Structure 1
Amino acid sequence: MKETWRWYGGLDRIGLDEIAQTGAAGVVTALHEIPYGAIWPRETIAARRAQIEAAGFDWTVVESLPIDERIKRGEGDLGPLFANYRQSMANLAAEGVTAICYNFMPLLDWTRTDLAAPVARGGTCLRFSAPKMAAFELHMLGRAAAEDDYPEDVRREAAVWFQRSDETERETLLTSIMAGLPGAYDRYDVAGLKAALARYDGLDRATLRAGYKRFLAEVTPAAEELGVRLCVHPDDPPRDILGLPRVVSNADDIAWIMAAVESPMNGLTLCSGSLGANPLNDVPEIARRFADRIHFAHLRNVAKAPDGSFEEAAHLDGDTDMVALIAALLDEEQRRRDAGRADSEIPFRPDHGHELLFDAARGAHPGYPLIGRLRGLAELRGVIRALAHQGASPSGPNPPRFSASTDAGDISPS
């Protein structure tokens, strides 16, 4: 598996010289400064690639080439937007990018209620509190329909939190939720968010799926011609938010997407944290089921609570069996090598991480500290090395093939 590291370019507080010390081979980045729907100029892509290569990395995965919200809403004449997206794909391919990570979440990207929740023995993590989210929707946003989205006990806790909170705490909650807005990093107050949500009135699951299928039909043929793999990122969290539907939340959703356009270029970013936040998702099993369509992987872990809350756990300590998941990905890599594919290696990155030691002082993007992710990468690297060593020498011409059961620790060469 190929180690990569997410970098936000000029917006990042962590430099390429520091990333080099993590041992990662590749950088995953994007042109975050370009507005949604606009063409990414080849010369701008080339300049970013040259900067990355000068620091000793390669850049083969873009995260992400965003989709204009009008495409998700099915609004207006979309032809020019699809044409722009295809041209950006062509410009990326011309500069050596072979995989494009994207998502199809309306309005918000990821959603958390706490950006610095304390963890045991020091440090902080990202957290999604179902009661706090319910408090925001019901008591701050005033979305009456949210009554149906939360069980009674969560609504009761939400009311208690709201009554006890002050304006500073409510503003912090709003800021945390707004941190998931992508692109140009626009942020809304409550009134602004209400206005933004109004543009999605009538957007139900069927409508969003129809828009998604049209998007795939418009861009997948170009991906096939360019040799670029599209890999959708799952919803984060994998549930409807603010009354907006989510359509990439579980195995059934992924199966629908893969069948919507039957092409090896229509693939998946396997995000173990996003999928792992749904208690019904067996993430290693999802990895095995869709292994041939996994073009990129985000490896992180979450610890879930019965009320729907979850928080970012250490990479090996959450609810997902990370060893079984990595074994499934290694097994797929071996299958690709057996098939003679030159591109058998699956790029991955340590996703998110706890803020540890001096991380908090750096002011990095929420979830993307230096030390916390370095710890995660080291742990993941250890699992990968151990699995590669088991049963055969990693220096041999044919690394071992593995199969993994869903029981932790039951991993054996096949």
Structure 2
Amino acid sequence: MSQTDDSPFDELPLRIGLGQFREPTDDRLRFIKQLGVDDVLLNMYRYSPDYPHLPNEDRPLLATPEEWTVDALVELRERIERAGLRLNAIENVPIAFYDHVMLGGDRRDEQLDDLRRIVRNLGEAGIPMFGYHWMPSGVWRNTEVAVRGDARASGFDLDAADDSLTHEREYTEAELWENYERFLRAVLPVAEEVGVKLCLHPNDPPVDSLGGVPQLFRNFENFQRAMDLVPSDNHGLEFCLGCWSEMGEDLEAAIRYFGSRGKLYYVHFRDVEGTVPRFNETFLDQGNYDSARIFGLLDEVGFRGMIIPDHVPHVEGDSTWDHRGRAHAVGYLQGLLAMHRACAET
């Protein structure tokens, strides 16, 4: 089954979903449905170890590129659907799947072949979006702060960041852009063929460089360049409001620009206090921007995708997945959605 531009997902309204989890266990899926959520995405480094057919309970599935088969992805989608949910996207593959692609290493061509196969299999399995990032070292956080009620939230301080090389040498922006364009030219034709949308996430934190590696997707100008580099209706943004808030860019101008061009595919709705070089995450009503105004602007520019909470503060009695903090964020966003629907009807 291949998703095309006229897939059922494109006919859905703006809606609140849930993501930022790797293991769709039965109890987790029930909890999500109990929150009144119908749409999810998965951070797919592994999926649940409780499947009865596993030869070893501790063996993670989808841990290597060879395991991202059509059958495995269909099984995953159908598991989500049996819980009354829709699987909108898979967000990220392990960095080890494409570190040589990002940095131009010896295994680049092999990894590009793997990525093409994974994207093709996603489309054939009926999973319409694939979120990706361009961060060879992943997300950086190096502080923890107390926010409202002594909830704990992560942060970043550039002055406290380790400046040692993470990948043996320093890389130039020209190298990263060359590698990025090669990735797009290799993978986008497959995405277009099978109807998968590729969704780019910002670098987090959006600073010039970390560990000797340029952080390309740190500002408005570079996102413009990314979208224009290899023009495609199947390439857009996994628009992380938290990262854009960290940048200190004109958030409303970015939403209007990319929204008017149909490049907002789904949204991470979170916020921070402060901007680079120093910031910390916080609750949605305590960050840099006006959540209600930004929510309304997304609706105004015609965004009709899925909005999910992103990182949330760790509240009292929370789990490692921060399910209580996520429940609060889902309820907050559902309230914003209800308010805007009511205003639209008056």
- Fold match, TM over 0.5? yes
**Which stretch of the first structure deviates more once superposed, 375-384 or 30-39?**
30-39
Give the C-alpha shift of residue 358 in structure 1: 0.8
Residue-by-residue CA offset, 1:169-211 (whole Å, 9 max, x unaligned)? xxxxxxxxxxxxxxxxxxxxxxxxx6x520xx24211100110
Residue-by-residue CA offset, 1:265-320 (whole Å, 9 max, x unaligned)? 111111010111112x1122211111111111100000006x72111121132102
Sequence identity percentage:
23
Q: Could you say which residue in structure 1 is the equivalent of 2:333?
A: 380
Change in 2 beyond 3 A, CA 1:236/1:36 = farther
Q: Could you say which residue in structure 2 is the equivalent of 1:80?
A: 110
Q: What one-letter code is carried by the residue in structure 2 that aligns with 1:59?
A: L
1-structure distance, mates of 2:25, 2:250: 33
Change in 2 beyond 3 A, CA 1:311/1:56 = same
1-structure distance, mates of 2:82, 2:145: 37
Residues 238 and 265 in structure 2, CA contact (< 8 A), matched pair in contact too: yes
SS in 2 for 1:298: strand
1-structure distance, mates of 2:25, 2:106: 35
Give the C-alpha shift of residue 262 in structure 1: 0.8
Q: Could you say which residue in structure 2 is the equivalent of 1:57?
A: 85
Change in 2 beyond 3 A, CA 1:356/1:77 = closer
In the TM superposition, 1:4-403 aligns within 5 A as 4-6=17-19, 8-10=21-23, 15-33=28-46, 34-35=62-63, 38=66, 40-66=68-94, 68-76=98-106, 78-106=108-136, 108-114=137-143, 116-133=144-161, 136-137=162-163, 143=164, 196-198=166-168, 201-239=169-207, 240-279=209-248, 281-291=249-259, 292-304=262-274, 308-333=277-302, 345-359=304-318, 362-364=319-321, 369-392=322-345
1-structure distance, mates of 2:105, 2:20: 32
Change in 2 beyond 3 A, CA 1:52/1:85 = same
Change in 2 beyond 3 A, CA 1:12/1:318 = farther
Q: Could you say which residue in structure 2 is the equivalent of 1:178?
A: none
2-structure distance, mates of 1:327, 1:374: 21
Give the C-alpha shift of residue 7 in structure 1: 5.0
**Which stretch of the first structure deviates more once superposed, 50-59 or 248-257?**
50-59
Q: What one-letter code is carried by the residue in structure 1 that aligns with 2:214?
A: P
1-structure distance, mates of 2:141, 2:338: 33
Give the C-alpha shift of residue 221 in structure 1: 1.2
1-structure distance, mates of 2:170, 2:210: 15
2-structure distance, mates of 1:373, 1:31: 18
Residues 101 and 109 in structure 2, CA contact (< 8 A), matched pair in contact too: no
Residues 37 and 68 in structure 1, CA contact (< 8 A), matched pair in contact too: no
Residues 8 and 32 in structure 1, CA contact (< 8 A), matched pair in contact too: no
Residues 349 and 377 in structure 1, CA contact (< 8 A), matched pair in contact too: yes
Residues 274 and 280 in structure 2, CA contact (< 8 A), matched pair in contact too: yes
Residues 98 and 108 in structure 2, CA contact (< 8 A), matched pair in contact too: no
- Aligned pair count reads 313
2-structure distance, mates of 1:383, 1:10: 28
Residues 241 and 269 in structure 2, CA contact (< 8 A), matched pair in contact too: yes
1-structure distance, mates of 2:70, 2:240: 29
Residues 4 and 349 in structure 1, CA contact (< 8 A), matched pair in contact too: yes
Residues 36 and 68 in structure 1, CA contact (< 8 A), matched pair in contact too: no
TM-score relative to the length of structure 2: 0.84
SS in 1 for 2:281: strand
Give the C-alpha shift of residue 388 in structure 1: 2.2
Which ranges of structure 1 fall in alignment gaps of 5 or more residues? Answer: 138-142, 144-193, 335-344, 394-414
SS in 2 for 1:231: strand
Residues 170 and 212 in structure 2, CA contact (< 8 A), matched pair in contact too: no
Residues 315 and 380 in structure 1, CA contact (< 8 A), matched pair in contact too: no
Runs ≥4 residues deviating over 4 A = 11-14, 35-39
Q: Could you say which residue in structure 1 is the equivalent of 2:8?
A: none
Give the C-alpha shift of residue 30 in structure 1: 4.0
1-structure distance, mates of 2:25, 2:82: 17
**Which stretch of the first structure deviates more once superposed, 9-18 or 223-232?**
9-18
Give the C-alpha shift of residue 355 in structure 1: 1.2
SS in 2 for 1:389: helix
Q: CA RMSD in A?
A: 2.2
